[in-house]
Amino acid sequence: MSASARTTSGPRIRSTPLRLTGQLVGVFSLAMIGCFGASYFVARQTIEAGLRAEIVQTETSLKDAVSQADFEDRFTHLAEATPRRVMLIEWRSEDGRPLGNATGLPLSPTFSRSGEDALTGNDPTAADSYLLRSTPLWDGQLILARSREPIVELGETFAAVVLVGLIPSLLLSAILGIWVARRMEDRIEAIRGTLSRMQRGDLSARVPTHSRDDDLGRIAGAVNEMGDDLSAAMDSLRQVSTDIAHDLRMPIQRVQVLLDQIGETGSSCDQEALVARAQAETGRITRTFRSMLQIARIEGGGAAPLIEAVDLNDIAETMVSVYEVAAEETRQTLTLHPASAPAIVNGDRSLLQQVLANLIENAIRHCPTGSQISVALDASDPVVLTVADTGPGIPEDEREKVLRRLYRLERSRTTEGSGLGLSLVAAACNLHGAELELGDAVPGLKVTIRFPT
Amino acid sequence: MKLLVIEDDKATNDYIADGFRREGHSVDQVMTGHEGLVQATVGSYDVVILDRMLPGLDGIALLKTLRGAKNKTAVILLTAVDFVDDRIEGLNAGADDYLGKPFAFGELSARVAALVRRPQMSDEPTVLRARDLVLDRLSRKVTRAGQVIDLMPREFALLELLLRRRGRVQTRTMLLEAVWDIHFDPQTNVVETHISRLRNKVDKPFDVPLIETLRGSGYRIDTE
């Protein structure tokens, strides 16, 4: 993202796929040229060795002559039978009498390479290049120059192979590489474009999905998932803001009214009562606010739950002991049916306490006197927590809705409560990967929470 | 008692300081983390009341620095976020107690009092007394005026706590934390109900009530 990084990369190729393609084609070309060069060199060595052998062999056949006359006879035959294009043959006697199909060849006791010009002048019947050696023989010098035509031809063949084979294949791979690189670039650009749209606030932006499951496809998938999560988090945040605006305005208004009344009344007794009411209101505002924040935090994944192995039997025992006296006050009975074995789940102790507190408080609040509330645990696999009451229950079509924030049944409008209790339970269950079910206890409400195994 | 309040909100800072001054304590006030660190290191305080969110040096960093320098002054951390993981982070950083905003002064005052004279477990007597009430922590027996009082386990724990912190106010949240290990505020007034049950057994049959209610703050068993 830094500007300097962008400007300094000016002369270099900025697209990674394109750069990689270029490098690949370069390395490929070098390797090919190296290979061809090596095989050309080896083939050339072999052919040159053959040519030398031919010269040596010819010399030997002439050395075998029994007399000067036999030699000259053999030599003349050989010279007549050998085309200049294949081999130049000369024997120069000490008195300067030349024989053979060429004259004036240079002397060279070791093998040497010579061009046509130096040997024969511009002769159309001669080859372009020769391998030459001279050796003393019969009072003179024998000079043999074998045409290097096969080697020249080899070079030409290799050049042709390079031209016809290598260059087109390099061109083809470069073109294909660039095409693939451009396609990769398009896909990368699509991801980059999506990210920058998200950055500008368009959380609905998504990378067009390809069916391919390659690295870019996976990155695109991850970007889209991130988009989904971000939208969910934003929606939840927006929902919280709306809820807060909606649900906190009324109690704040009431506090405002109470403060005005405190200012107006002269009696200290009235003032004290008004202050107490204002304090109760602010207490309620704080609780609602805190619950909303906590739900948002759990749902938004911001809470780091203290995941530890906890025994639900212990938690249920604590919470029932806290609330059983409250239930007795309203002439309800709260009973605990613990599991016979430890009901161990991985969870956040305090959050699980709150789940039970909210469920029990709900039951106490919404059930008439004489109702029975039971908290039961089953430590089998999976661990199941049930809170059931014999109260009015929740109509089936309302059960989904009561899990929403601030949703309250029509008949509960007048009772105490924020409408956040079950939302917190739902959020906490979600965090623990537990399954929450609101069912019918015939009569009454039966809340079942199945913890993951 | 000598207190230091480190809080950047002037109104809250004054509210806390005035409250403790009215109780007869000496209070120093600072508004930033850096000043707070200097003051807490130089002055010898009984309790430091430290806001978690401060400009410059934040509360947790200040606390860690203080504890790193082997300063053992009791510290109460005040915070706008008081979910369990935040509380644990605060306690791990070396706080002695943790209180979420908004709070009533009574709550803070009770917690400060609990910190200052928090007795060591080892020198606590096994038998606790208040007037004619005797609680034996080993045999778990309670008698008043020679009469045996039969208490449920949580009622016993509640009474034991009030006796151990005799003369000091125990707020509802302090009781919830100490007796039930509950660190959130239930909507129902469960503590009141438990106290009233306890009173029915401990106070009602006798002439002089032991458990005193302090309106707006909490409960106390007074010495005399």
Tens digits of residue pLDDT in A61-120 = 877 777 777 877 888 888 777 887 788 888 877 776 777 777 777 777 778 777 766 666
pLDDT at A214: 79
pLDDT for residue A116:
66
| Partner B, chain A 42-81, Cβ-Cβ below 8 Å | none
Q: Are A351 and B84 a contacting pair at CB < 8 A?
A: yes
* CATH number for position B45: 3.40.50.2300
Determine the pLDDT at residue A306.
63
Which pLDDT belongs to residue A249?
82
Estimate to the nearest angstrom the gap between the alpha carbon of B48 and the chain centroid. Answer: 14
Q: Tell me the range of A171-185, A291-305, A375-389, A420-434 where mean pLDDT is highest.
A: A375-389
B193 touching chain A per CB within 8 A: yes
B208 and B171 in one domain? yes
pLDDT in tens, A145-197: 888 888 888 888 888 888 887 778 888 888 888 888 888 888 888 889 999 99
Contacts 24+ apart (CB under 8 A), A436-443: A436/A403, A438/A394, A438/A399, A438/A402, A438/A403, A440/A393, A440/A396, A441/A388, A441/A389, A441/A390, A441/A393, A443/A390, A443/A391, A443/A392, A443/A393
Which CATH number does the domain housing residue B203 bear? 1.10.10.10
Averaged pLDDT of chain A: 82
- Residue among A293, A306, A325 whose CB faces B85 most closely: A306
Residues of A in contact with B189 (CB under 8 A): 326
Q: Number of structural domains, chain B?
A: 2
* Last residue within a domain, chosen from B116, B147, B175: B116
From chain A, pick out residues whose CB is under 8 angstroms from the CB of B154: 321
B133 and B110 in a common domain = no
In the numeric block, the tokens 């430290």 are attached to B50
Q: Do B188 and A293 count as a contact with CB atoms less than 8 A apart?
A: no
CB B15 within 8 A of CB B62: no
| Global confidence as pTM | 0.62
Return the SS3 of A378.
Answer: strand
Q: Does A325 touch chain B (CB under 8 A)?
A: yes
Closest partner CB to A321 (pick from B84, B154, B188): B154
Q: Is residue B122 part of a domain?
A: no
Does any domain span residue B27?
Answer: yes
Kindly indicate whether the ipTM for this predicted assembly is greater than 0.85, answering yes or no: no
* Nearest-by-CA chain B residue for A360: B188
Q: Are residues B104 and B134 in the same domain?
A: no
Q: Structure tokens of A96?
A: 């300067």
Q: Which of A267-271, A297-301, A413-417 has the highest mean pLDDT?
A: A267-271
| Residue at which a domain ends, from B84, B116, B148 | B116
Residue A303 tokens read as 């809470």
Cα distances (angstroms) measured from residue B148 to each of A88, A324, B132, B151, B205: 140, 24, 12, 10, 12
Q: Is residue B161 part of a domain?
A: yes
Share of chain A above pLDDT 90, in %: 16
pLDDT at residue B175, rounded to an integer:
92
Residue B46 lies in a domain: yes
Query: Is B216 contained in some domain?
Result: yes
Q: Which two tokens stand for residue A355?
A: 């789940």
**Do the Cβ atoms of B190 and A279 come within 8 Å?**
no
Name chain A contacts of B173, Cβ cutoff 8 Å.
Answer: none
Size of the A and B interface in Cβ pairs below 8 Å? 61
- Per-residue pLDDT tens, chain B, 224 aa: give them: 899 999 999 999 999 999 999 999 999 999 999 999 999 999 889 999 999 988 888 899 999 999 999 998 999 999 876 676 778 888 889 999 989 888 888 889 999 988 886 555 556 788 888 888 999 988 999 999 889 999 988 899 999 999 988 888 899 889 998 898 888 878 778 898 999 999 999 998 888 899 999 877 789 998 66
Contacts of residue A323 in chain B, CB cutoff 8 Å? 188, 190
Residue span of the structural domain in which B155 resides: 127-221
* pLDDT tens, position by position, B66-116: 999 999 899 999 987 667 677 888 888 999 998 988 888 888 999 998 888
Residue A119: the pLDDT is: 66
Strands (E) across A76-151 are located at 87-93, 98-100, 112-115, 129-136, 140-147
Chain A interface disruption, residue of B184, B191, B197, B217, most A CBs within 10 A: B184
In a domain, B158, yes or no: yes
Q: Is A323 on the interface with B (CB under 8 A)?
A: yes
A346 touches chain B (CB under 8 A): no
Q: Reply yes or no on whether the pLDDT at A5 is more than 60.
A: no
Check whether the bond before B119 is cis (ω within 30° of 0). no
Quote the minimal CA–CA distance from A316 to chain B in Å: 12
Q: State whether B170 and B189 are in the same domain.
A: yes
Distance CA B109, CA B64 (A): 24
- B147 lies in the same domain as B60: no
For residue A302, give the chain B residue with the closest CA.
Answer: B85
- Regarding whether B68 and B41 lie in a shared domain, the answer is yes
Q: Which of residues 9-48 of B touch A (CB under 8 A)?
A: none
pLDDT tens by residue, A216-257: 888 888 888 888 888 887 887 787 677 777 777 878 888 999
* Confidence (pLDDT) at A293: 79
Label the pairing between strands B2-6 and B47-51.
parallel
Q: Rounded to whole angstroms, how far apart are CA atoms A320 and A194? A: 52
Contact A354 B197 (CB under 8 A): no
Nearest CA-CA distance, residue B79 and chain A, Å: 13
**Are B147 and B46 in the same domain?**
no
In a shared domain, residues B41 and B138: no
Same domain as B14, residue B51: yes
Boundary-marking domain end, from B79, B96, B116 = B116
Alpha-carbon span A289 to A292, nearest angstrom: 5
pLDDT by residue (tens digit) across A312-366? 999 999 999 999 888 998 899 999 999 999 999 988 888 899 999 999 998 998 8
Q: Does B190 touch chain A (CB under 8 A)?
A: yes
Q: Is A427 on the interface with B (CB under 8 A)?
A: no
In a domain, B48, yes or no: yes
Nearest by CB to A361, which of B82, B181, B186?
Answer: B186
- A123 pLDDT band, cuts 50/70/90, is low
Query: A162 to each of A29, A34, A157, A285, B146, how far by Cα in Å?
Result: 11, 12, 9, 85, 116
Are B20 and B101 members of one domain? yes
Res. A450: pLDDT tops 90: yes
Helices (H) and strands (E) in chain A, counts: 11, 12
pLDDT of residue A409 exceeding 70: no
User: Does B168 share its domain with B69?
Assistant: no
The pLDDT score that the predictor gives to residue A122 is 64
Report yes or no on B121 lying in a domain: no
Q: What is d(CA B95, CA A361) in angstroms, rounded to the nearest whole number?
A: 32
Provide the pLDDT for residue A8. Answer: 44
Whether residues B60 and B132 share a domain: the answer is no
